[in-house]
Every structure is written in C-alpha cells, then in structure tokens.
Amino acid sequence: MKNGLKYLAPNQKLQFFLTSMIENFEEKTKKPFEIKVTYQNSIGKTYKDVYMIDFSQLIGLSQLGEPPLYKIAKNVEEIKKDIHHLSTGFYKIKVIRYTKEDEV
C-alpha cells in the first residue's frame, strides 16, 4: 500500500486478494518475496515486522473434491435457470390440489 492506513481498530482485519495460483504457477513458486510492515500501537510504540511470502510451499498441494464456493455458485446458477423457466411460461407447473373431502 502506498499511503498506508490511518487507523486499524483492535481485532480488525484487512484482507485482500494477492494473486491466482492458476496463472503462472511455476514462475510464482520460484520467486519468494517479503512484505515489510511498520505500525504503531495506541501509545505510539513502533513495531516492524517482515513477512516472507513463499509460494513454493504450495508445490504438490492439491484439493480433494470441488471447492465449496464453486459448488455454491454452480447451484445458484441452476436455481436461477429453474426460476427463469418458471417465469417465462415455457414450463407448466404441475399442481396437485386437495379438497377437505379428499383429506378424510
């Protein structure tokens, strides 16, 4: 970040998307880099930390099954298609109707 943050509340987190490992995986695993962080607490004490980002740790890592967010997105698309078919009138909804006499 070029200008930094003015204030970060206690227990507040800042998260952001760094990169996609789908693209240029080999290149990214060969070039570790550092993130240098400087910050102050509420009484003005300065802290400095260095975080090493090394994607080579991901080599050989795989995931079993479908990622949950992908699965949710796919299911939402299916629901959207079903609702669209209902609203356009191309499909008739099968309705089963019972009267009070039928319930006895």
Q: What is the pLDDT of residues 21-71, one digit of tens each?
A: 878 888 999 999 999 988 888 888 999 999 999 999 888 877 677 778 888
Average pLDDT over residues 70-77: 91
20 located within any domain: no
Q: 3-state class of 102 per DSSP? A: helix
10: nearest Cα among 37, 38, 41, 33: 41
Q: 3-state class of 70 per DSSP? A: helix
84 located within any domain: yes
Reading the block at residue 54, the tokens are 């090394």
Domain of 68 in residue numbering reads as 25-103
2 located within any domain: no
Task: Please indicate whether residue 6 or residue 73 has the higher confidence score (pLDDT).
Answer: 73
Q: What is the mean pLDDT of the chain?
A: 84
Partners of residue 40 on adjacent β-strands: 46
1 located within any domain: no
Please give the pLDDT value at position 48: 95
Contact 25, 59 (CB under 8 A): no
Band (92; pLDDT cuts 50, 70, 90): low
Torsion sign across C-alpha atoms 71, 76, 79, 85: negative
Please give the pLDDT value at position 90: 61
Please give the pLDDT value at position 50: 96
- Checking if the pLDDT of 75 tops 70, the result is yes
Please give the pLDDT value at position 45: 94
In total, how many domains does the chain have? Answer: 1
30 located within any domain: yes
11 located within any domain: no
